[in-house]
Amino acid sequence: MRPHVVGHLAVSLDGVTAGFEVDLARFYAMATLWQEDVTLVGADTILAQESALRSAPQPGPRSKGPLLAVVDSRARVREWDRLRAAGHWSDVLALYADQTPARPPDSRTREMITGYERVDLDETLQLLGKHHDARVVRVDTGGTLLGVLLAQGLIDELSLLVHPVVVGSGPRWPGGFTDRLDLGLANVEAFEGGVVWLRYCMT
């Protein structure tokens, strides 16, 4: 069975997802709400963190943490061992497609292969449910991966931490999505400093 899929994003008032100061403490505190089994991440989100990851503490895998699954059909992510040891996840899983370039022969990263040129996200979610017992998946993305998942009807819940800033330019969520979607409001909460949490479910 396909797991419940939540998109949780920090956004500016004009829908930009990068280039402003995110209330990270609140963002990750709220992310614990779902107790996800799998954190599904876009490769570009990982690549944006790679240099910080190289100097970050490496406490080792967190046995009770979620599995980190990264959509990476072009095999751009290199720091798998550091991600595994970052202390947030129990293990890492590379999500590849048939046409993904060859990996280093000494790679010990677990892989799941779906799709031909790009990862098949629907099949991936089904397999995460079947082989990894995933009931809840939280998507961590700057918006591109979220847009693709929304277009394929694969998002069940949307959680936006809206920051009181207009950024003007920058990547907006949900990248590339052009359809119309009606959602039902599940919760609203305002925090000190002007950050507002909006939680929606698909109708």
Ligand X SMILES: NC(=O)c1ccc[n+]([C@@H]2O[C@H](COP(=O)([O-])OP(=O)(O)OC[C@H]3O[C@@H](n4cnc5c(N)ncnc54)[C@H](OP(=O)(O)O)[C@@H]3O)[C@@H](O)[C@H]2O)c1
Residue 175: CB minimum distance to ligand X, A: 5
- Residue 104: CA atoms inside 13 Å, Cβ hemisphere, count? 9
Q: Would you state the structure tokens that stand for residue 79, as one six-digit string? A: 């720091």
Site track for ligand X across 139-168, x = CB under 6 A: -xxxxxx--x--------------------
Residue 15: CB minimum distance to ligand X, A: 10
The Cα–Cα gap between 161 and 196 comes to 6
Number of residues assigned to the chain: 203
The Cα–Cα gap between 20 and 203 comes to 31
Q: Would you state the structure tokens that stand for residue 171, as one six-digit string? A: 């990547």
Give the residue among 78, 62, 60, 61 at the shortest CA–CA distance from 70: 78
Residue with tokens 């799998």: 38
78-117 residues near ligand X, rule: CB under 6 A: none
Total residues at interface with ligand X (CB under 6 A): 25
Residue 121 interacts with ligand X (CB under 6 A)?
A: yes
Residue number, 65 or 171, with CB nearest to ligand X: 171
Residue 72 interacts with ligand X (CB under 6 A)?
A: yes
User: Judging by beta carbons within 10 Å of its beta carbon (0-12, 13-18, 19+), is residue 1 exposed, middle or buried?
Assistant: exposed
Residue 100: CB minimum distance to ligand X, A: 8
From candidates 18, 53, 181, 196, binder to ligand X by CB under 6 A: 18
Q: Which stretch binds ligand X (CB under 6 A): 51-59, 82-90, 118-126, 190-198?
A: 118-126
The site for ligand X (CB under 6 A) is made up of 9-10, 17-18, 42-45, 48, 71-74, 118-119, 121, 140-145, 148, 171, 175
